[in-house]
Amino acid sequence: MSTCLPCALDDADDEAVVYRDRAWACEVSDGYEVPGWFVLRLRRHTEGWTGPTAAELAEFGPLAQRLSAAIQQATGAPRVYFMSFGENYRHFHFLVIARDPALQPDRRGAAILSLLPDHRDLAASLAVAAKVRTALTA
């Protein structure tokens, strides 16, 4: 198994997969199984904004837009966050988070990450993934 968590997601169970093509993938990730949270990543390993090719970056915008719309449709989220730090996992990837409409203002933005320890629920995450998958193909 790869030591790169985003690379290892290529081995994710089918029910965890929201989207895959030759270059990009979006899945529910081990350790981040909060309903409405996903990892969008390049399937090949590369680091930072200088790693992707021009073609990969050209695909990113339309895919991010489609994914965001599908997540909003499936969850009712008023906002979808795309967060990328590249510190813990040096792979070009984004944590994509559906922001619950009832989320308290002090937990919005980067503070949403504080929800991770107490909101992990694999079954609920996979159920949301199925809804987003359906919305993507509609």
Give the pLDDT confidence of 3-61 residue by residue, as tens digits: 788 988 999 999 999 999 999 999 999 999 999 999 999 999 999 999 999 999 999 99
Apex 53 CA angle, 52 and 59, nearest 5? 85
Torsion on CA atoms 106, 111, 117, 122, rounded to nearest 10: 100
pLDDT of amino acid 123: 98
CA atoms within 13 A on the CB side of 11: 8
**Confidence (pTM):** 0.93
Look up residue 58 and give its two tokens: 């050209």
Q: What is the CATH number of domain 5-137?
A: 3.30.428.10
Q: Where are the domains of the chain?
A: 5-137
pLDDT of amino acid 1: 42
Give the pLDDT confidence of 56-76 residue by residue, as tens digits: 999 999 999 999 999 999 999
Give the pLDDT confidence of 93-108 residue by residue, as tens digits: 999 999 999 999 999 9
pLDDT of amino acid 2: 52
How far apart are the C-alpha atoms of 47 and 19, rounded to whole Å? 21
